[in-house]
Amino acid sequence: MGSSHFGAFHQGNVPGSELTAVCDTDPARLAWAQEQGLDASVCYASAENGQLVLENGKITFRRNRKAMSEFCQTSTESFAVPECWTIDIPYRDMPAPEHTLVMRSWVNAIRNKEALLCPGTEGIQGVELCNAILMSAWTGQPVDLPIDDDAYYALLQERIAASTVVKDETSNVVADLNGSF
């Protein structure tokens, strides 16, 4: 079961400066948040033993010295923060844009019968998770996976009908996709 909400800076019909999602799994809880700033995008994934932070192209793990549930139950201070150590996680840039790698994998799967880098089921599950996050934010209620497709569709149609966004029908912009493949 999970829940999500748009942050205090949410305006209009699309996610604003913050979206938070909490996924409860047994025995852990994972909280994910993304904040959009002028210069950076920050993503947090918090769980029992610490927090993973992606910020300005750098990955950092803040490892709790004591499990969060134990710390919360035993701390005598209000709004205390657990002692932790910081671990910088090295990673290398991808050799090509993500979509290029996925397309190459798809072509190699057809031509050479190689395993897919990202099977379609992973994509469908990712879309369903995103839909669950939106559904929870719209209703203010936790959402179980798999989601109720009919209920999600009805909520989506309500949001579309209530939308105040005006699409500019006069601009015919043709995107240059030459560098995509």
pLDDT beyond 50 at 107: yes
Decide the pairing of beta strands 58-64 and 29-36. Answer: unpaired
Q: Is there a domain that residue 176 lies in?
A: no
The answer to whether the bond into 27 is cis (omega within 30° of 0) is yes
- Say yes or no: 25 and 59 in one domain: yes
CA count, 13 A, side-chain hemisphere, 117: 11
Q: Which 3-state string (H, E, C) describes the chain?
A: CEEEEECCCCCCCCCCCEEEEEEECCCCEEEEEEEECCCCEEEEEEECCEEEEEECCEEEEEEECCCHHHHHHHCCCCCCCCCEEEEEECCCCCCCCHHHHHHHHHHHHHHHCCCCCCCHHHHHHHHHHHHHHHHHHHHCCCECCCCCHHHHHHHHHHHHHHCCCCCCCCCCCCCCCHHHC
- Say yes or no: 2 and 80 in one domain: yes
- Say yes or no: 69 and 101 in one domain: no
Residue 14: pLDDT band by 50, 70, 90 thresholds?
very low
Identify the residue with better confidence: 110 or 1: 110
Pick the last residue of a domain from 75, 91, 107: 91
Least confident of 32-46, 105-119, 163-177: 32-46
Q: Is there a domain that residue 181 lies in?
A: no
Contacts of 13 (CB under 8 A, 6+ apart): 159, 163, 164, 165
- Say yes or no: 76 and 161 in one domain: no
Residues 51-106: tens digit of each pLDDT: 888 877 788 999 999 988 888 888 888 888 889 999 998 876 656 666 788 888 88
Pick the last residue of a domain from 91, 109, 137: 91
The most confident of the ranges 5-19, 41-55, 100-114, 165-179 is 100-114
Cα end-to-end span (Å), the chain: 38
- Say yes or no: 20 and 82 in one domain: yes
With beta carbons less than 8 A apart as the criterion, state whether 4 and 137 touch: yes
> What is this structure's pTM?
0.54
With beta carbons less than 8 A apart as the criterion, state whether 143 and 135 touch: yes
Q: Which residue range is the domain that position 159 belongs to?
A: 96-166
Q: Is there a domain that residue 75 lies in?
A: yes
Task: Report which of 167, 162, 168 is spatially closest to residue 13, judged by C-alpha positions.
Answer: 162
pLDDT beyond 80 at 6: no
- Say yes or no: 1 and 83 in one domain: yes
pLDDT beyond 50 at 10: no
Q: How many domains does the chain have?
A: 2
Q: Is there a domain that residue 111 lies in?
A: yes
